[in-house]
Amino acid sequence: MIFHSTRDKSLTATLSQALQRGLAPDGGLYVPAHFPAMTVADFDGRESLAAVASRFLAPFFEGDPLAPELDAIVAEAFNFPVPIVPLKTSDDASVLELFHGPTSAFKDFGARFLAACMGRLTRGSTRTLTILVATSGDTGGAVAAAFHGRPGIEVVVLYPRGLVSPRQELQLTCWGGNVRSLSVAGTFDDCQRLVKAAFADPTLAARRELSSANSINVGRLLPQACYYVYASLEGFRRTGKKVNFIIPSGNLGNVLACVWARRVGLPIGELLLTFNANRTVPDYLADGDWQPRPSVATLASAMDVGNPSNMERLRHLHPQWQELAAAVSAVSISDEQIRQRIRTDDVGLGEVWCPHTATAAEAYAQLAPARRAAGPWVLVSTAHPAKFPETVEPLIGRTLPVPPALARLLELPRQVTEVPATLEALAALLQ
Ligand SMILES: *Cc1c(COP(=O)(O)O)cnc(C)c1O
């Protein structure tokens, strides 16, 4: 498989190159040059996520040096459960729980897969690879966990001081060793700007081999597509109908993975994207006017994105907004609706949502009855509620048990460097 830049088809890369570069040289994002066609029958006899993933990813790995390692990469990355839990409602609805990895959010899938690939690509290299990652909360922890202790690779995590939850911050700063955590005096947008500036800086690039682990990296999207393949097969085999997904969204990486899975032919029907008060995408789908704007802070902070970078890939697939508006729909959910939904479903359904997943639950509750009855719906659960106790616990009136993997991380000592939001400060640290 060849990948090329969203901005220039002639800027091509193999999968390994696309993984290592992150961004294409012209600032575009790598996309597959074509989408292989697959049918449900191609997955006959494949039940587990790893078995499904090996089949789905094979054409994307074809011809790449990593191809012979695909089965091993998948087995290493997807080593935790992915339950599909039926919801106690009269219509066919279930929850795809993506929070059973080491840092209790769906970012573990992409981060672990990328680490398994990069670890193999840097084997035998004498230069240290530096992975820069800007995070609004969950990505940084997942990437740090996935790369911690890997020889030949160093990770630098940039997060906005005071704008991540206390438990997220503990997960970002508990590592040491080959992971450096930078608490940046600025917003997530500032962190993202710094990472981009570091890549564009010729002196830095000459001195260090830099790579990115943000969701612009195709090595995070491909593994995310696998759980949509897995969940759509489960629903289709059970009901004979296409499966609809409701996806809490920010930078649109999770959505894009699902769009790709649908594009190759998996039985996926409607995609309903949920946003918090950051309305850039719902507004665009409504009137075709693309207006990126500064992000605003909400309870679903990992979705606080005003200028989602993966929009470039979505618009590459669907250049006309009417076409995109037909391919996906979107709703915006307020903080008050998030609070109310967490309370309501705790009592009514016995489900405790994280603030992000609550946007999907609220969107599901808002569906017209006929639409709700039209097919299996899968609510994508992006994080464990115990990651956000300061929001969730007062709403449900009790303490949430912490998953053991998360509890272990929270016990470790903090190691963090405070930096101003300037390239000079970042460059000095990278010397
Ligand atoms: C990252 C994240 C999201 C948003 O996902 P995108 O791929 O950026 O759209 C939603 N919920 C949680 C918990 C996240 O960590």
Dist. CA 259 → ligand 1 center (Å): 16
Q: 398-419: per-residue pLDDT in tens?
A: 999 999 988 998 899 999 999 9
Return the number of other C-beta atoms located less than 10 Å from residue 407's C-beta: 11
Please tell me if the CB atom of residue 138 comes closer than 6 angstroms to any atom of ligand 1. yes
> What is d(CA 342, CA 329) in angstroms, rounded to the nearest whole number?
23
Nearest atom in ligand 1 to 354's CA: 13
Q: Which atom of ligand 1 is nearest to the CA of 248?
A: 10
Distance between CA 71 and CA 5 in Å, rounded?
A: 27
Is 249 close to ligand 1, i.e. is its CB under 6 Å away?
yes
Q: Which atom of ligand 1 is nearest to the CA of 254?
A: 7
User: Listing from the earlier edge strand, what are the strands of the sheet with 84-86?
Assistant: 84-86, 93-97, 377-381, 243-248, 268-275, 329-332
**Non-local CB neighbours of 30 within 8 Å, separated by 6+ positions:** 3, 4, 5, 6, 13, 18, 21, 24, 218
Which of 9, 88, 107, 387 is labelled catalytic? 107
Proportion of the chain in helix, strand, coil states, percent, rounded to 5: 45, 15, 35
Q: Is any ligand 1 atom within 6 A of the Cβ of residue 247? A: no
Distance from Cα 106 to the centre of ligand 1, integer Å: 8
Q: Distance (Å, rounded) from C-alpha 200 to C-alpha 182?
A: 20
Pocket probe mutation, ligand 1, options 254, 314, 328, max atoms within 8 Å of Cβ: 254
Interval between CA 272 and ligand 1 midpoint (Å):
15
Question: How does pLDDT run along the chain (431 residues), one tens digit per residue?
Answer: 999 999 999 999 999 999 988 888 888 999 999 999 999 999 999 999 999 999 999 999 999 999 999 999 999 999 999 999 999 998 999 999 999 999 999 999 999 999 999 999 988 888 889 999 999 888 999 999 999 999 999 999 999 999 888 888 999 999 999 999 999 999 888 998 898 889 888 888 788 888 888 778 999 999 999 999 999 999 999 999 999 999 999 999 999 999 999 999 999 999 999 999 999 999 999 999 999 998 899 999 999 999 898 999 999 999 999 999 999 999 999 999 999 999 999 999 999 999 999 999 999 999 999 999 998 999 999 999 999 999 999 999 999 999 998 899 889 999 999 999 999 999 999 87
Closest atom of ligand 1 to CA, residue 249: 9
Residue from 50, 102, 96, 33 nearest 244 by CA: 96
- Judge whether 211 and 20 are in contact, CB under 8 Å: yes
Task: Identify the DSSP state of 261.
Answer: H
Question: Which residue's CA lies nearest to atom 8 of ligand 1?
Answer: 251
Establish how many alpha carbons lie within 13 A of residue 139's alpha carbon, considering only the half-sphere containing its beta carbon: 31
Residue 330 Cα to ligand 1 middle (Å)? 15
Cα separation of the two ends of the chain:
36
CB distance 105 to ligand 1 below 6 Å = yes
Neighbours of 311 (CB within 10 A): 21
Amino acid identity for residue 399 in this structure: T
Q: Which residues, including other chains, have CB under 8 Å from residue 155's CB and lie 6 or more apart?
A: 130, 131, 133, 143, 144, 147, 148, 175, 178, 179, 180, 213
Q: How far is the CA of 302 from the centre of ligand 1 (A)?
A: 5
Phi, psi of 32 (to 5 degrees): -65, 140
Please name the amino acid found at residue 364.
Y
Q: Give the three-class secondary structure for 133.
A: strand
Which atom of ligand 1 sits closest to the CA of residue 305? Answer: 8
Active site residue 107: yes
Give Dmax over CA atoms of the chain in angstroms: 61
- Which string of DSSP letters, residue by residue, matches 275-327? E-S--HHHHHHHHS----------SSGGG--SS-TTHHHHHHH--SHHHHHHH
Q: Is the CB of 254 under 6 A from ligand 1?
A: yes
**Using alpha carbons only, how large is the chain's radius of gyration in Å?**
20
Give the bridge partners for 156, in sequence order: 132, 180
Give the residue, out of 107, 303, 387, with the most ligand 1 atoms within 8 A of its beta carbon, to mutate for a pocket test.
Answer: 303
CA of 124 to the centre of ligand 1 (A): 34
Whole-angstrom distance, CA of residue 150 vs CA of residue 148: 6
For residue range 97-142, what is the model confidence (pLDDT) as tens digits? 999 999 999 999 999 999 999 999 988 888 889 999 999 888 999 9
C-alpha span between 77 and 112 (Å, rounded): 5
Over residues 62-84, the pLDDT tens digits come to: 999 999 999 999 999 999 999 99
